[in-house]
Structures are given as structure tokens and as C-alpha cells.
Structure 1
Amino acid sequence: MDSQLYRAFEDQFRGSEKLISARLQQYENFFIPIASTNPGGSIFDAGCGRGEWIKLMRQYGFDCTGVDENPYMANGSDQPIHIGNALEEIKHLPEESQSIISAFHLLEHLQCGLIISFIENAFKALKPGGILIIEMPNTENIEVAGSSFWLDPSHLRPIPVAFITFLFQEHGFYRYKVLRLQEEKDLHQFDRKITLSDVFFGVSPDVAVVAQKGPEDQPLVKELDVAFNKDYGLSLRDLVNRYDKQREGGFLRRKRLHTAKVIKALLKKYTT
């Protein structure tokens, strides 16, 4: 797919810039403490697309660089975006120079070796206490894994979260957090009935993993304790377990009612 056609594809299927900007605001538990503790810190956004993340981060005072290979992505944008190969440029970032490195919906376009190289170079370029944000389609969502992921012909293969967290551990990150941010809010209500449709389609269609570079005694590590200790979203297993428990609860209620009817009938039979 040529660059101009892919920009049109993104505009139609990725979502509007307003929608994506609103979704990105959900990372505020991570980037606001960094903006406060390290004002004016540097951000490198690999595969920045239309520049929604860059625009948001500039509002919080960060010094931002966005890189994308598609020249049509930056059309009409007043953000600091340039055309290039982010996987090459990250290799040349000064060591321990970046507060945040991000890759939103980039890794699913890459071969395994390039994914490993990107994470390795990101670790080198991050300041102590800095974070790497990786967001990608969520293979726990059955509809995404079986259908919508393959709508983009440049996607190579779905990437399980466990593989990314393994790479983070192997490359020395201090800690990581998995974020699921886009499921329906009422799914979090304890008394919400979980349907089969919820199991198939209710899990967040995107998933992110945020990793932090140590060491543990860095001030920024403590500043992000709240963000890393919080839970974000529901996994497929969470929804399946709730669905099973509700079905089991309904079965037991029906069984108790049936037993009560049988006892009532027997009492009536032998007491008249």
C-alpha cells in the first residue's frame, strides 16, 4: 500500500485525531509525574503517525521528536515531526537522554529482530526512571485477533503481551505494567451481567505495556509508584471467569428452586 493510500486508510480505520488524542490522555498517571519531576524532558515517538501524542506531550512542556517513514502523515501538521526511519534514529540518540520513548501501533509491523533491537536501543536511550510505552492491538480481544487485526495489510502478526514483557525483563527494565484502557466502563460494575458478547468483544481492542528503567533509588521511580501499582482494565480471563460464575450462580439458583418445589410437592402429598 503506497504512503498516500495508507494515510487515507489510517484516517478511516484508526479513528479521528480527536478520538486518539482522548485515548492517549489515559496515560496521564505516567506522564504527568514525569512532567512535574523532569520539566522539559525529551520525548522520542517512533512511528508517530499524525502526531497526536507529540501534540499532547508538548502541552505538558516536553521537548518532542516524532519520526515516521510516511511523508503523508505529517501533512498539515504543525508538530515537530520529520520523515525518517525511527528504528535507525533511535540508535543514535545519546545514552540516557530521553524521559519517554513511545511506539504506538508500530511493533506489529516489524519482524522479531527489529522489535528486539528497538527495545534494546530504547533502554539505552532512556534516562534512569524514564519509561517506554508500547501500544498495539490486543490479541486477547477475540474479534481483534481473528478479524480486525488483519484489516491492515502491513501488519505482520499479532504480538502477545507476554512476549513484550519477557523482552522488557531480559533487557533490564526495572518494572512494567500492562494497560487495557478502552473497554466499556460499565463492565467494571460488579453487578453488571456479563454476556457471551462481552466475552467475545468486550476486552479492550488495544493493549499497552509501560516499562520503567531503574535503578530503584531514582526519585522518578518513587514518583511513579502509584501509576505502576494501579490496575488498568479487564483481561479476557477476567471476563470469562465472571461469565462462568454468573452462569454457575444461575444454575445453582435454578437447582435450589427445583429442589424446593420437589420438597413442597412431597410435603403436600404426604400431609393430606
Structure 2
Amino acid sequence: MTTDFYRQFEDRFRTSRENIKLRLAFYQPLLQSLQALPTPRRALDLGCGRGEWLELLVQAGFEANGVDLDAGMLQACEQLNLPAKQGDALSLLKQTPDNSLALVSAFHMVEHIPFEMLLELVREARRVLVPGGVLLMETPNPENLSVGTSNFYLDPTHSKPIPHALLAFVTEHAGFAAHQILRVNQPFDLHPDDRVLLSDLVFGASPDYAVAAVKGGNDEALARFKSVWPSDPGAALDAIAYRYDDQLTRQLAQLDRGLSRVTHFGNGLYGHIEELRSLNAQLAQRVSDLETRLLAQQAKGLRWYALRPLRIAKRFYLGLRQEGIRGIWQPVAQYLNASPHRRNRALKLLRRWRLHRISAALFNPAQIRQRIAEQAPPPAIEALPPSSRAIDTLVTAKLYTHFEE
């Protein structure tokens, strides 16, 4: 690997020094708590890289030193006159006296070394720290699915990801009095009321985490260490997954309730459909019955009109048989006398043509007068005043004379 490759790689994928310094400001409370330790407050930054954390240590008043194997990375420290040198971190730790440092830090360094070297580095860090001193290690968080399955392997110098529980146990095994796991650098915080999406499961967990471990022997420093950290350790994958499952369960319950309502409505609708089908069947049967009756009536009407000549001929025959020659006029007279309208028209025509003998044969004036006299006045005539009833009487009298002319 060329001298400037890793420097350019960090500039591209780890973002600018300014952004990294903004992220590292999260650890300012730790630096303030270490201010209470006995002076001089010395710090050693392992794998210091471009020197962002080393610069913050100097600004906080620490007597700090940095070490890194990559000469290209150290060029940025040289340009800023930061106290860093090229070398092996573990070798430098072994050369450091016991109980001489307040802080040993390693930002994105432990994932580059074999596990056996990590165990030795943690043991050496405990040795060189003063009582109450802190070991701080930040590394990519494989709990973040995107980091653990893809982004971690973007760096060709990475060895393998280290789960937070493992790194915390390493400090415990090395004899540190207490430790704290800190999930850091998440781009946003999920609000309790926010909807959890599938993308949150993949990308939402903190992309980095840190393990801070304190050396025993200073109860006051130990108490400060335990009180300095925020109650919220960051975005954990299991917490996001539980929220996602809970949200999904609630949504499924809502869908189930909605499905129950739809099923209930569908059952009621099915019942109405069955009723409509029954009514439709009854209506179809009714229509069929009416069609049958209509066809029967039509057939009956056709038969009646077809047999009408026979009925007329029968009437003439019966009249001839009963009355002789005079009986021939009987069917005609019955037909004309069946309707006052037909009767009146026939009388007018017969008088106009002066067929009095035929008129006398067809119409009997005495019978007509008797029929008119027997007819009861309509209720509307009875309700008329006397003068109006008198007019009706004159009209009736005219009818009598009409048949006598």
C-alpha cells in the first residue's frame, strides 16, 4: 500500500476532520471528569490518524501524545504541529511506565489488529493507567446491519468486526472496575412516536460504538465515571426491532379488526343478496304466471273473435226458428238496443232514409220508454236544485217524443 493511499481513503470515506471533531465532542464530559485526577494528566491516543482526537486532548489541557503506523496519516498531524509519531501502538504501551496515564484512547484502531493483540493491548492499557484512569475504544458497530454486512469491509485494512458485548467483556476480563457501552454517531434519533420502517432496521442502529472502561482504586473517580454517561446509550438494533415488531403487531391487530368488520358486513350483505335472490325468483315466477295467463287470454280472445260469425249466425237461426221471418230482425235489434249510442244512430239513419217499417221492426218505443222510466236518476241529478231537475225532466220527455215521431 502506497504512503498516501490510506490518507486519501480516509479523506473520502471517513469525511473531513471538522466532521470527525464534531462527532468526538460527544466525549467532552469524559474529559471534564478526568480533569479531577491528579496532575499531570497525561493521555496516549493509539492509532491517532489525522489527529482529530489528539487535537481535542491538547485543547482540553492534557499532556497528550499520539502514535500511528501510517506515515501518510501522520502528515496532517505534522502540519498542525500535533505531538504524534510513527510507531507500533502495543510496543509504545509496553514502554510506558505503570500508573502514568489518565487516558488511553483508540478510535477505530482495534478492528485492525488480531484478537490476541487486542487482549494484550487492553491488559497493557490497564497497567499504565492511574487509578480512576479510563480506556476508551471506539469501533464500527456490527449491530448496524449495513455496517456489519457491507461498510465494514470497505476498509481493506480491517480485520473483522467486534461485537460490543465481546469488547466489553475483554475489559472486564482484563480487570477494569467498570465499563460502559456507548452507541454513537447515528445520523438521527428515532422519536418514540415515529413510525419504524424496514430501512430503520437496516440502517437505524448506531454505526459506531465505544467501550469506556475505568481502572479501580479511586472510588471518587469511579463514581464520576458512572455518572458522566447519558441514560440513553444510543440506537440499539434489538430496541429498533422490538419497536418494529410491536408496531407490526398493532398494525396486524388493526387489520384483523378491519377484516372482522368486513367479514361481518359481508355476511350481512350475503344475507341481503340471498333475500334479493329469493325475491327475484318469486318475481320471475310471477312474471311467468302472468305470461301464461296473458297467452291464455290472448288465445281466448282470438277464439272469441274467430267464433263471432258463428255466434251471429246462431242468433239469426234461433230468431228464425222462434219468430219466423220476423225473427231475422231479432239479433239486429238486440245488438242495436244493447247500446244507446248505436240505437240513436240507427234511428236517425232509418228516419233520414224514411225506413219507418224497419225502424218499427227493430225498435219498440214502448219498451224503450219503459226502460228509460225505470232508470233511477243518477245521484248527481238528485243533488241538483229543483230548476236543474226540471231541465232534466224536459230532456227525458223529449226522449219520449223522440221515439214516438
TM-score, length basis structure 1: 0.92
Matched, 1:236 2:237: yes
Q: State how far apart, in whole Å, the 2-side matches of 1:19 and 1:31 are.
A: 19
Q: For residues 207-239 of structure 1, what are the alpha-carbon distances to aligned partners after superposition, in whole Å with 9 as ceiling and x for unaligned?
A: 111111113x52211222222473320111111
Matched, 1:156 2:173: no
Distance 1:195 1:35, change over 3 A: same
Q: State how far apart, in whole Å, the 2-side matches of 1:42 and 1:168 are.
A: 21
Distance 1:153 1:173, change over 3 A: same
Cα offset, 1:97, TM superposition: 1.1
Cα offset, 1:30, TM superposition: 1.6
Between Structure 1 and Structure 2, the one with more strand by share is 1
Matched, 1:23 2:23: yes
Q: Do the aligned partners of 1:39 and 1:61 also contact (CA within 8 Å) in 2?
A: no
Give the aligned residue type for 1:247: L
Paired residue total: 269
Matched, 1:89 2:92: yes
Match of 1:119 among 98, 104, 122: 122
Between Structure 1 and Structure 2, the one with more helix by share is 2
Q: Do the aligned partners of 1:175 and 1:212 also contact (CA within 8 Å) in 2?
A: yes
Cα offset, 1:35, TM superposition: 2.2
Query: Could you list the runs of 5+ residues in structure 1 that have no partner in the other structure?
Result: none
Matched, 1:147 2:150: yes
Give the structure 2 partner of residue 50 of structure 1.
Answer: 50
Q: Do the aligned partners of 1:137 and 1:205 also contact (CA within 8 Å) in 2?
A: yes
Give the structure 2 partner of residue 211 of structure 1.
Answer: 213
Q: Do the aligned partners of 1:58 and 1:64 also contact (CA within 8 Å) in 2?
A: yes
Q: State how far apart, in whole Å, the 2-side matches of 1:243 and 1:117 are.
A: 40
Matched, 1:175 2:184: no
Cα offset, 1:266, TM superposition: 5.6
Q: CA RMSD in A?
A: 1.9
SS of equivalent to 2:72: coil
Cα offset, 1:261, TM superposition: 3.9
Q: Do the aligned partners of 1:181 and 1:204 also contact (CA within 8 Å) in 2?
A: yes
Where in structure 2 are the equivalents of 1:190-229 lying within 5 Å? 190-215=192-217, 217-228=218-229
Q: Do the aligned partners of 1:50 and 1:77 also contact (CA within 8 Å) in 2?
A: no
Cα offset, 1:85, TM superposition: 1.3
Q: State how far apart, in whole Å, the 2-side matches of 1:104 and 1:162 are.
A: 17
Cα offset, 1:162, TM superposition: 1.9
Give the aligned residue type for 2:19: L
Q: Do the aligned partners of 2:104 and 2:135 also contact (CA within 8 Å) in 1?
A: yes
Q: State how far apart, in whole Å, the 1-side matches of 2:100 and 2:39 are.
A: 13
Cα offset, 1:15, TM superposition: 1.4
Larger radius of gyration: 2
Give the aligned residue type for 2:189: D
Higher relative contact order (CA 8 A, sep 6+): 1
